[in-house]
Amino acid sequence: MFRAADVLLLNKLDLFPYVQFDVERCVGYARQINPGIEVLTISVTTGENLEGWYDWLRQQIKAV
């Protein structure tokens, strides 16, 4: 999955402080498989970083 992906979208950014999830480790593993993968962390609940996700989607549409 990570080998073929262009982007790794990590949702629930607002919960990261409350759960045992190592974002850097996850990203590191993904980049071992796909060094060029773009990583976006978002929170749909709070809206944090959603604009970055929207920008990424717009770029993909323009590239088609």
Per-residue pLDDT tens for 32-41? 999 999 999 9
| Cα–Cα distance for residue pair 12/46, rounded to 1 Å | 9
Q: Is residue 2 in some structural domain?
A: no
Report pLDDT for 2. Answer: 87
Domain of residue 31 covers: 7-63
Residue 5 pLDDT > 90: yes
Report pLDDT for 64. Answer: 83
Report pLDDT for 19. Answer: 94
Q: Is residue 1 in some structural domain?
A: no
| Cα–Cα distance for residue pair 39/54, rounded to 1 Å | 13
Q: Is residue 39 in some structural domain?
A: yes
Q: Is residue 49 in some structural domain?
A: yes
Q: Is residue 44 in some structural domain?
A: yes
Mean per-residue pLDDT over the chain, rounded? 94
Number of domains in the chain: 1
Q: What integer is the mean pLDDT of 11-23?
A: 92
| Cα–Cα distance for residue pair 52/33, rounded to 1 Å | 23
